């Protein structure tokens, strides 16, 4: 929820405060969170670190960096190459997340078993803190051209943009709520509980999933340019949701793993196309505010997903149900966004 609050502040003050300074501040919040998590003697201290809003349960798409970063990518991309620019941006981010998933197995390798206390994991949080400093330094080193010049007043969305952003934010919220049912941590729990033999290879599984997702962005950019951004968003997302539903229904570890990896190979293809689409349906000066509003909706909705998933599991007693609900809601989102926006064509991006 703190991440959502930070996104609201970005939407109101981000361009006036300065994009580079805002991103540097978020990097410092990462550092503070990492140090607090590494030193936390008890759960309340860890909660205080998480409350800073600079950590993510998924590793992607909910941090306060996003609203500013996405505006910068859209503004600096060459005409007609915005989708490709977003594809590369997400490719690098996903490869970093995949490397982090692989590195998460280091404590297990060092200890020899799955850690049962926080102590073997604390050095990982210190590494996270150091990366926050790196992020802050890189943010300040960006050229002045990433800033919107002479921005002294708050940007107000035009009535048309406000209508579009409100509707698409609500739809994005449905997608993120559905995604909250099957966060990576839950998928790891399901594999571990259903197929205990998968425990030693879970970091490798999520590393492979991250790599597949990362390189799918490049394919998505080409499909978006050929068939349309909205069409690519919807018609790659629906198969991924069907594969998600199939994961707990298939018999055996290897079929379930195959469905999951196949799902991850296409599930994120809507990301660069979605970001480019949003950039193309609002004005340049409105992008940071529009990104902040949509990302806030995604943050809030996703945070409700795990609680709802837990409640469903407690009521029904099955770890399979969140896959079915999450996949079903995602398909409903695809149908709704296509129906609502099929006639809204983005400007050339």
CATH class label, 2-341: mainly alpha
Give the span between the Cα atoms of 196 and 318, in whole angstroms: 16
Give the span between the Cα atoms of 240 and 237, in whole angstroms: 5
Give the span between the Cα atoms of 250 and 257, in whole angstroms: 9
Residue range 31-45, pLDDT digits in tens: 988 888 888 777 777
Give the span between the Cα atoms of 183 and 234, in whole angstroms: 21
Give Cα 117 to chain centroid, integer Å: 28
Give Cα 213 to chain centroid, integer Å: 12
Give the span between the Cα atoms of 62 and 238, in whole angstroms: 22
Tens-binned pLDDT, residue by residue, of the chain (349 aa): 555 566 666 656 667 778 888 888 888 888 988 888 888 777 777 777 777 666 665 555 556 677 788 888 888 888 778 899 999 999 988 888 778 777 777 776 666 666 666 677 788 888 889 999 999 999 999 888 888 766 556 667 889 999 999 999 999 999 999 999 998 889 999 999 999 988 888 888 988 998 899 899 999 999 999 999 999 999 999 999 999 999 999 999 999 999 999 999 999 999 999 999 999 999 888 888 888 889 888 888 988 888 899 899 999 989 999 999 999 999 999 999 999 999 999 986 6
- C-alpha distances (whole Å) from 109 to each of 38, 105, 199, 203 are 19, 6, 12, 11
And the tokens for 345? 């064509």
Secondary structure element (H or E) that encloses residue 335, with its range: helix 321-341
Indicate the length of the chain as a whole number: 349
pTM of the model: 0.80
């Amino acid at each position: 929820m703190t991440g959502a609050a930070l996104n609201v502040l970005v939407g109101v003050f981000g361009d006036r405060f300065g994009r580079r300074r805002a991103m540097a501040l978020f990097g410092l919040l990462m550092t503070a969170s990492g140090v607090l998590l590494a030193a936390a003697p008890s759960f309340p201290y860890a909660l205080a670190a998480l409350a800073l809003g600079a950590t993510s349960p998924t590793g992607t798409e909910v941090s306060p960096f996003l609203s500013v970063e996405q505006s910068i990518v859209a503004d600096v991309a060459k005409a007609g190459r915005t989708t490709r620019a977003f594809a590369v941006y997400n490719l690098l981010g996903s490869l970093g997340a995949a490397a982090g998933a692989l590195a998460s197995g280091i404590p297990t390798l060092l200890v020899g078993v799955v850690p049962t206390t926080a102590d073997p994991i604390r050095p990982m949080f210190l590494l996270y803190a150091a990366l926050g400093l790196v992020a802050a330094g890189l943010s300040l080193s960006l050229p002045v051209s990433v800033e919107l010049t002479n921005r002294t007043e708050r940007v107000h969305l035009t009535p048309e943009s406000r209508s579009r952003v409100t509707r698409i934010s609500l739809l994005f919220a449905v997608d993120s709520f559905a995604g909250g049912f099957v966060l990576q941590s839950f998928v790891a729990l399901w594999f571990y509980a259903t197929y205990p033999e998968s425990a030693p290879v879970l970091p490798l599984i999520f590393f492979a999933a991250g790599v597949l997702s990362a390189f799918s962005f490049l394919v998505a950019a080409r499909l978006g340019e050929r068939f349309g951004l909205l069409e690519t968003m919807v018609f790659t997302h629906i198969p991924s949701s069907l594969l998600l539903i199939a994961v707990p229904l298939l018999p055996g570890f290897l079929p379930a793993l195959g469905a999951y990896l196949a799902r991850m190979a296409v599930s994120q293809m809507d990301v660069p196309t979605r970001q480019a689409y949003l950039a193309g349906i609002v004005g340049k000066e409105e992008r940071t505010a529009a990104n902040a509003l949509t990302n806030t909706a995604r943050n809030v909705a996703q945070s409700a997903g795990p609680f709802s998933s837990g409640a469903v599991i407690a009521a029904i007693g099955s770890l399979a149900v969140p896959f079915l609900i999450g996949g079903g809601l995602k398909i409903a989102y695809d149908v709704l966004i296509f129906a609502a926006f099929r006639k809204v064509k983005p400007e050339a991006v």
